[in-house]
Homo-oligomer: A and B are copies of this chain.
Amino acid sequence: MRGKYTYAILSGIILILASLLVGVLFYFKNQPPQERGVEPLVQIEDQEPDSSKWGLNFPNQYDTLQNTLTNNTPTTYGGSEKFSKLENDPRLITLFAGYSFSIEYNEERGHLNSLTDVREIKRVNKTTAGTCYSCKSAVNPRLWGEMGMAEFDKTLFHDLGEKIDQPIGCANCHEANSMKLIVTNPALEEALVKQGKDWHTFTRQEMRTMVCANCHVEYYFAGEGKYLTFPWEDGTDIENISKYYTDLAFADWEHPQSGAAMIKMQHPDYELFSNNSTHYKAGVACADCHMPYTRDGAVKFSTHDVKSPLLNAEAACGACHTDVDYVTERVAIIQAQVRQTMDDTEDAIMAAIQAIEAAAAQTNADTTLLEEARILHREAQLRWDFINAENSMGFHNPEEALRILAASTNLARQAELKAFQAASGK
């Protein structure tokens, strides 16, 4: 009898322990990897540029990242299929006349194409600064550490390229092994510090937006050294960015037809989104829509097939919205409204350019009025380009996008009038 009891007690203990084990395993399986505290299969070196090494520990994230190479599906206004924006809308050739964006300007493809595409674009020439690699490679965090960003930026593009052999990858956003989300671009850290912000204090959810701001922002090349700088000192809305550039008397190029000192906006996705958009205010991060949680069998992870949420609406929108058809229809309605308004804005800027050119051709033109017209052209176009260059056809912040386009059109038409007044000598 005693043996029988011992057997029963042992069985019971084993059952309890087994249950506990299953429970613990189940708990950890549902934790994000960086919170698991599980030893990774391989140790990753700090700032390891080769994403395939990280992929040994995180096969799901790595596998989905691979999709960005080939899954280049278009959407109505964007997506990840390469097409010529200049062929698509020939007004851009005039709007960017005299600047490299009038030579070649394509819809960008997925992250893993970053290196190939930057090396093929005709905008790059022998004098191009290394700064142009800033958002193109997972080698950068290590290079910035070794060289410093000032040296990185002033090295010529072609020379720097010898050190760069990886497209965008894990090291652009993650700390090795801990997998913490980190700011790797020194320009972003410096811009935040100037605003009195320390990203180390940000929550994980805030970092799920902040790491995208490593690249998806407006920036410029400061000084002879082409030092990568975000123009956020006065604020990140378009009025403050405009003021910043004006105070600095900065220009990317002079427009050959209007003679205006122009600013090219880069992809200010972060700025537009974070200036009071409904999703941002609701606590939604970039990654919630562009890298939604997904499942592969029983494993839940954030997909690294970063792309338009419209190509993945069930997961992207469906995580919060119950009626995905309803919300994708809303996106279509809003984007059509923005596109229509942007068409009017472009026509207005085109008219301004032609009017200023015509006025300047007259010997008796009023130079003061002409100069005012040029400033209006610059101000109109940088506002329009803030919406043109960001990648959501306004959906990142619909009301703000339309507000800015309305202001741009207003300025462009005033530029046209000023030019006409200048030509009339009045």
Contacts and interface: CB of A to CB of B under 8 A. Distances in A.
Interface of A: 276, 278, 281-282, 326, 329-330, 333-334, 337-338, 340-341, 344-345, 348, 398-400, 402-403, 405-407, 409-410, 413-414, 416-417, 420-421, 424, 426
A32 B406 CA distance: 46
A378 to B, nearest CB: 17
Nearest to A330: B278
A410 B407 contact: no
Nearest to A409: B410
Contacts of A400: 337
Nearest to A332: B276
A278 B278 CA distance: 13
Contacts of A409: 406, 409-410, 413
Contact of A281 (B326, B398, B410): B326
A344 B410 contact: yes
Given A337-B399, A399-B402, A406-B405, A417 B413 contact: yes
Given A281-B330, A326-B282, A420-B420, A406 B402 contact: yes
B341 A407 contact: yes
Contacts of A416: 413, 417
B278 A403 contact: no
A322 to B, nearest CB: 11
Contacts of A402: 341, 399, 402-403, 406
Given A409-B410, A410-B409, A337 B421 contact: no
Contact of A406 (B329, B344, B424): B344
A341 B417 contact: no
Nearest to A344: B410
11 contacts: A276-B333, A278-B330, A333-B399, A338-B399, A340-B403, A348-B413, A399-B399, A402-B406, A413-B414, A416-B417, A424-B424
Copies in the complex: 2
A412 to B, nearest CB: 8
A398 B333 CA distance: 12
Given A414-B413, A417-B413, A417-B420, A341 B406 contact: yes
Contact of A337 (B329, B340, B403, B410): B403
4 tightest Cβ-Cβ pairs between the two chains A and B: A413-B413, A406-B406, A402-B402, A337-B403
A424 to B, nearest CB: 5
Nearest to A341: B406
Among A334, A344, A345, A403, the most chain B Cβ lie within 10 Å of the Cβ of A403
Among A330, A409, A421, A424, the most chain B Cβ lie within 10 Å of the Cβ of A409
Contact of A334 (B337, B399, B406): B399
A341 B413 contact: no
A405 B409 CA distance: 11
A392 to B, nearest CB: 13
Contacts of A403: 337, 340-341, 402
Given A399-B399, A406-B406, A409-B409, 8 more contacts: A281-B329, A281-B330, A282-B326, A402-B403, A410-B413, A413-B414, A420-B421, A420-B424
Contacts of A348: 410, 413
A384 to B, nearest CB: 11
A313 to B, nearest CB: 16
A414 B352 CA distance: 11
Contacts of A424: 420, 424, 426
A344 B281 CA distance: 26
A416 B330 CA distance: 35
Contacts of A414: 413
A413 B351 CA distance: 12
Contacts of A333: 276, 281, 399
A356 to B, nearest CB: 13
Contacts of A407: 341, 344
Among A338, A399, A400, A417, the most chain B Cβ lie within 10 Å of the Cβ of A399
Contacts of A421: 420
